[in-house]
Amino acid sequence: MPSTTAHKLAKGQKEISVSEFFEKNRQILGFDSPVKSLIMGVKEAVDNALDACEEAQMLPEIVVRIDKIDQKEYRVSVEDNGPGIVSTSMPNVFGRLLYGSRFHAVRQSRGQQGIGISATIMYGQITTGKAATARSKVEGAEAAKEIDIIIDTKKNAPVLLREDFIPWNEKEHGTRVAFYMNGRYVTGKQSVLEYLRQTAIVNPHASITFIDPDGRRYNFERATEQMPPLSKEIKPHPDGIELGTLMNMIKATKEKTLVKFLQNDFNRISERVAKEICAAAALPESTRPSNLTLESSKQLLEGMGKVKIMAPQVDCLSPIGGNLIRKGLKHVLMDIKPEFYAPPISREPKVHTGNPFLIEVGIVYGGDMPSDQPVQILRFANRVPLLYQQGACVITKAIESTDWRRYGLEQRGGSGIPFGPAIILVHVASTKIPFTSEAKEAIASVPAIQEEIALALKACGRSLKTHLNKKERKTRTRSKFEIVQIIIPLMAEKTAKIVGKPVPDLRGTLTKIMNVVWIDDSVIYEKKRHRVKVQVYNYTPKQQRFKVHTVLPKGGLDLASCSLRPSEIKDDEKITWELPKIASTALYEISFELKGLDQDAFSETELYVSGINPVDVMGADPLPGDWDLEGVNFTETEAPAAEKAEDEEDEPDYDESGEELNDE
Amino acid sequence: MTNNERNTEAIKRLYSISESIYEQLDKGQIPKMVLPLRTKANIKFDARTNVWKYGSLRGARSAKKVKGAMMLLRTSYMLELIQEMIETNKSSTLREAYYISEGWGKAKFHSQDESNLLTEDLEIVTQCLREDFKLRPEENGASIIGDINIVETDRKGRKKAVNCRDDVGDSGYGIPYNVEKEKIEIKNTSARFVVAVETGGMFDRLVENGFDEDQNAILVHLKGQPARSTRRFIRRLNDELRLPVIVFTDGDPWSFRIYASVAYGAIKTAHLSEYLATPTAEFIGITASDIENYDLPTDKLTDMDTRALNAELKDPRFNTAFWKGEIDLMLKLGRKSEQQALAKYGLNFVTDTYLPDKLNELGLLKK
Ligand SMILES: Nc1ncnc2c1ncn2[C@@H]1O[C@H](COP(=O)(O)OP(=O)(O)OP(=O)(O)O)[C@@H](O)[C@H]1O
Ligand SMILES: [Mg+2]
């Protein structure tokens, strides 16, 4: 008898609708706790609003409102000024799962599954029994359409309870969706407010208003009028594509030959490259795609791996860009007054499983942040904040496996989340973000992505370290400077007066105390210009002559403003000055101006020296090897070693003998 | 030396410090000044005077560091201030000197600790006393009660004879900040010994119980860590009247230090130990053994107390069998006690039992 278990199971197997499935497994969508459900509800609606505005190239104006109905129940309403939804699509957009415009598009957007808003409405309906209300008006329409909607979960189909046309005169176009759901409103690290705050950081072009259940209003104003560029749709890129996807594409193609299929259905495959792939796969160019077997598909995949293919173009991705990341961070983090914003890093696009992606990283340091706590990690996927599942996310893994001790943060054993007064922001932008689940809370550990994040973190970390080094050097040298500039001259004046003799020449004393060339810089922003002053004090016993180098933002230098003409300008940004001879204890000043830059774009001057022994210099680093300047091997000025030994103290420092005399 | 001569000498020595700084600058050197290190490790017992003084370790105050450079700069300002005071026949308190420095611009003191320390430093290098610099402490010395006759020269130059038992109220005779011979002459006494008492409560108890008269004692109230003038006065009583001195304090690490500064010399003023310390002063309690023997009420040692006790174990002044035993015992008990804890056995216990016990041990009990 064939009454096996399989047969028994087969009897019970019947098609279950997607909605029914999600109803039973709501945690997959992220609706697994009252607090989280409320955040998810807001998030799905806000993501859609931002997506729609971006697609229509409109500056988003979003109003989020949460009202408390009773102990458990809340009403959430999200309104945007986007392009609106044509009235015939509204029932499916809000009442059918897996209905969306992005499901099949290879392009960067927040939504990618066609589940978000209908799942939210379904969750609200299950927990409160109430219908959702959606209203939308497209440009030029006379009135908005408004519907009350519930979802038939068995059929995965919308059921309209009411359908109306409403003038909505104050709005030219836009969408408002409102729904009831059970939840819990909180504030803190994982909250609606935090979600919106972080959204504002990475969407500085959006204006977001939030009215909380107590009626408090929070305004995240627009920090820039600059829209993120519209990301273009592209075809799948062959790098790392999976066999299943390839076979699906083979099945779906309209092309009649393999070479045309490769050329037209993929990104970055020219005719030449297509032919190369055919050759590498040992498949005739004229093969009909429909004739490809599993075996020959595998062959084709291998062939694709052998040929070098150009990286996908950038325009399918919409990076935030270094400038706007800094703007967004500054705008929202104003009250913690950070001391340093590392120049954000925006990496070139790379590909994972056929999908282009790129990584952006920003680090904020200091100010009113606690220094004995783990750093704060802000994770973003396609400009959407990720608040949950931090531990499972590739971003966290990349941060944990970076040795932050090198970059000036504390980290026990050189791995794990570092400690210190810092915020690390990581944005992963991709045509398809490989989330660990449908709830879109954490990004899966794809090696190519982790590697790119690590590289960006290191680059940003290096800027942080440079800043910290500079800061430390400043405090160390400031005290010496105080001695030679203020205290010693006063001492000379005073004692001269007491003994009734002329003020002595202090050169010998000053150079003995400092015995370095001391370089200091200051930047003032005034009338849309950065005025930079570099002061070079020769506190060595002999005259000095060397070169000073700096890297300035490309095209920023106003050549006419330079007090000393640069002796060389490379790549429009690497500047070299050959200083004249500077006598012992003399000061030489270079000043110049930068034009056409945002105030934020320049705050400290990176200074390098060559032609002098770097140990004799304070306030500038030796010229790095990758500067590749000709003839900069420094000529060592003979070190005044003998002199140094002579004034070595025999006695310990009296004032640092370190004992509390008043303990009796 | 007369007062005037001492002032002139002080100026001369201070001047030579400024001169040396000038010369170092003129020679292109980094100015510095060498002083004995004022640390626990540099306190050495001087067998000739029986007190603890600074040893041979030297430290340099150099203009290489901001702190040293500032102190060197201030030295010249101090010289000017002192010179001016001498010329106008004024003096100032240490606190006033600190405020006067407000007008020194960059060189001003940031705390009175800084100005006090510099004053002591200058005493050390010039081997003068701060009184020679026309600087005096704002704190007055403590008070004494007992049958002793002194003659004090008051601020108007009049000489006044005072009997410190009969001519004073219950709070006793207030020891002025200057107790040198030109200010106070010690005449005679019927007392047999001096009791230096740490707390006001116990001082008043002994007065109320008539202990000074019963036992022919002079009572000195130390007021916590005793001022220089208090220590100097005790030393003079011991020197000039040959009176034995006993020290009666609370039983905790800080009180042990009070005794050390009376008997051995303080680390801070070791350059003056010869004048200020009374090497034969005896510590009578409260000891850790008293806590056990008299079953006294106690408090738990705090972390600070424990640290202080451990520091004393490394302090050369406490390197005796007696102190090692007492400190170890206190650490072992983990408890400390106050003088007034003796009241557990009644208000007269201290004068009827405790002190007679102790005096008997020392052979000082009145027969
Ligand atoms: N506020 C809006 N304005 C205009 N169009 C919208 C708006 N909200 C939703 N849409 C349209 O409805 C579709 C379905 O939205 P839904 O949130 O369900 O899925 P999605 O955003 O495509 O993907 P995801 O499941 O990842 O959120 C969207 O693709 C978009 O075309
Ligand atoms: Mg969506």
Do B119 and B168 reside in the same domain of the chain? no
| Total of domains in chain B | 2
DSSP secondary structure code for residue A560 in this structure:
G
A363 forms beta bridges with A424
Q: Which of A585, A655, A656, A660 to mutate to test the interface with B (most CBs of B within 10 A)?
A: A655
Contacts of B68 in chain A (CB under 8 A): 653-655
| Contact indicator for B319, B327 with CB cutoff of 8 Å | no
A111-115, A180-184, A247-251 — which is least confidently predicted? A111-115
Do B169 and B260 reside in the same domain of the chain? yes
A470 has pLDDT over 60: yes
- Minimum-distance ligand to the CA of A78? 1
Centre a 10 Å sphere on the Cβ of residue A73 and count the other Cβ atoms it contains: 16
Q: Is the CB of A23 under 6 A from ligand 1?
A: no
Do B167 and B122 reside in the same domain of the chain? no
Average pLDDT over residues B9-22: 92
A381 has pLDDT over 50: yes
Angle at A338 between CA A332 and CA A343, to 5 degrees: 85
Domain boundary among B136, B165, B193: B136
Phi then psi dihedrals of residue B136, to 5 deg: -135, 155
Contacts of B40 in chain A (CB under 8 A): 659
Domain boundary among B81, B109, B136: B136
A636 has pLDDT over 50: no
Does residue B188 fall inside a structural domain?
Answer: yes
Query: How far apart, in whole angstroms, are the C-alpha atoms of residue B213 and residue B101?
Result: 49
Do B123 and B148 reside in the same domain of the chain? no
Do B320 and B298 reside in the same domain of the chain? yes
Centre a 10 Å sphere on the Cβ of residue A57 and count the other Cβ atoms it contains: 11
What pLDDT shows up at residue A650? 66
Do B108 and B47 reside in the same domain of the chain? yes
Pairing of strands A157-166, A217-220: unpaired
Average pLDDT over residues A542-557: 90
Q: Is A513 on the interface with B (CB under 8 A)?
A: yes
Q: Is the CB of A97 under 6 A from ligand 1?
A: no
CATH topology match: A19-220 vs A243-306: no
The highest-level CATH class for domain A243-306 is mainly alpha
| Contact indicator for B300, B335 with CB cutoff of 8 Å | yes
Residue where the block lists tokens 């560029």: A229
Do B102 and B172 reside in the same domain of the chain? no
Q: Nearest Cβ partner of A654 from B18, B21, B60?
A: B60
Residue A417: strand, helix, or coil: coil
CB within 8 Å: B29 and A647 = yes
CATH number attached to the domain at A322-466 = 3.30.230.10
What pLDDT shows up at residue A645? 40
Do B83 and B128 reside in the same domain of the chain? yes
- Structure-model confidence comparison of residues A97 and A560, the more confident one: A560
Q: Which atom of ligand 1 is closest in space to residue A99's alpha carbon? A: 14
A384 has pLDDT over 60: yes
A411-420, A632-641, B297-306 — which is least confidently predicted? A632-641
What pLDDT shows up at residue A9? 53
Do B76 and B184 reside in the same domain of the chain? no
Average pLDDT over residues A24-49: 88
CB within 8 Å: B30 and A664 = no
Do B23 and B99 reside in the same domain of the chain? yes
What pLDDT shows up at residue B364? 85
Does residue B367 fall inside a structural domain?
Answer: no
Phi then psi dihedrals of residue A408, to 5 deg: 90, 10
Q: How many helices, marked H, and strands, marked E, lie in chain A?
A: 16, 25
Q: A639 falls in which pLDDT band (50, 70, 90)?
A: very low
A100 has pLDDT over 70: no
DSSP secondary structure code for residue B354 in this structure:
I
> Closest Cα partner for A289 from A319, A252, A264, A243?
A252
Domain range A19-220, CATH architecture: 2-Layer Sandwich (3.30)
Q: Is the interface score ipTM higher than 0.85?
A: no
Residues of B identified as active-site: 99
Do B125 and B161 reside in the same domain of the chain? no
Please give the mean pLDDT across all residues of chain A: 86
What pLDDT shows up at residue A5? 58
Domain A506-637 fold is Immunoglobulin-like (2.60.40)
Q: Is A649 on the interface with B (CB under 8 A)?
A: yes
Does residue B318 fall inside a structural domain?
Answer: yes
Biggest CA pair distance of chain B? 73
Q: Is the CB of A85 under 6 A from ligand 1?
A: yes
Q: What CATH number did the domain enclosing B306 receive? A: 3.40.1360.10
Q: Is B3 on the interface with A (CB under 8 A)?
A: no
Q: Work out the percent of chain A whose per-residue pLDDT is above 70.
A: 90
**Is the previous residue joined to B286 through a cis bond, with omega within 30 degrees of 0?**
yes
Do B205 and B336 reside in the same domain of the chain? yes
Q: Is A311 on the interface with B (CB under 8 A)?
A: no
A641 has pLDDT over 60: no
> Tokens in use for B252?
């905790």
Size of interface A-B (CB pairs under 8 A): 140
A25 has pLDDT over 80: no
> Closest Cα partner for B171 from B149, B141, B193?
B141
Element (H, E) at B7: helix B3-26
* Domain that includes residue B237, residue range: 143-362
| Contact indicator for A299, A273 with CB cutoff of 8 Å | no
Q: How many helices, marked H, and strands, marked E, lie in chain B?
A: 14, 17
> Tokens in use for B266?
């303080």
- Helical segments of A506-586, H only: 507-514
A264 has pLDDT over 60: yes
Q: Is the CB of A117 under 6 A from ligand 1?
A: yes
Centre a 10 Å sphere on the Cβ of residue B91 and count the other Cβ atoms it contains: 16
Centre a 10 Å sphere on the Cβ of residue A257 and count the other Cβ atoms it contains: 16
Tell me which of A46, A47, A51 to substitute to probe ligand 1's pocket, judged by most ligand atoms within 8 Å of the beta carbon. A51
A110-119, A189-198, A500-509, B318-327 — which is least confidently predicted? A110-119
A551 has pLDDT over 90: no
Q: Is the CB of A91 under 6 A from ligand 1?
A: no
| Contact indicator for A632, A547 with CB cutoff of 8 Å | yes
Domain boundaries, chain A: 19-220, 243-306, 322-466, 506-637
Q: Identify the residue whose C-alpha is closest to ligand 1 atom 26.
A: A111
Q: What is the pLDDT of residues B115-161, one digit of tens each?
A: 989 999 999 999 888 888 989 887 666 899 999 999 999 878 899 99
> Closest Cα partner for A630 from A572, A582, A567?
A567
Q: What is the pLDDT of residues B32-51, one digit of tens each?
A: 999 898 888 888 999 898 99
| Contact indicator for A596, A501 with CB cutoff of 8 Å | no
B313 has pLDDT over 80: yes
Q: Which of B65, B82, B256 to mutate to test the interface with A (most CBs of A within 10 A)?
A: B65
Pairing of strands A73-80, A174-182: antiparallel
Residue where the block lists tokens 């701060």: B130
Residue where the block lists tokens 């510095």: B32
Domain boundary among B117, B136, B155: B136
Query: How far apart, in whole angstroms, are the C-alpha atoms of residue A64 and residue A218?
Result: 10
Q: Is the CB of A120 under 6 A from ligand 1?
A: no
Listed in sequence order, the residues at least 6 apart from A612 whose beta carbon sits closer than 8 Å to its beta carbon are A517, A544, A546, A634, A637
CB contact burial A490-524 (16+ within 10 A = b; e otherwise): bbbebbbebbeeeebebebbbbbbbbbbbbbbeee
DSSP secondary structure code for residue A228 in this structure:
P
Average pLDDT over residues A347-353: 86
Cα A44 to middle of ligand 2, angstroms = 5
A10-19, A333-342, B327-336 — which is least confidently predicted? A10-19
Q: Rounded to an integer, what is the distance from CA B237 to the centroid of its chain?
A: 15
Q: Is B73 on the interface with A (CB under 8 A)?
A: yes
DSSP secondary structure code for residue A22 in this structure:
H
Q: What is the pLDDT of residues A216-228, one digit of tens each?
A: 999 999 988 988 8
Query: How far apart, in whole angstroms, are the C-alpha atoms of residue A194 and residue A178?
Result: 21
| Contact indicator for A60, A173 with CB cutoff of 8 Å | no
| Contact indicator for B238, B17 with CB cutoff of 8 Å | no
Q: A15 falls in which pLDDT band (50, 70, 90)?
A: low
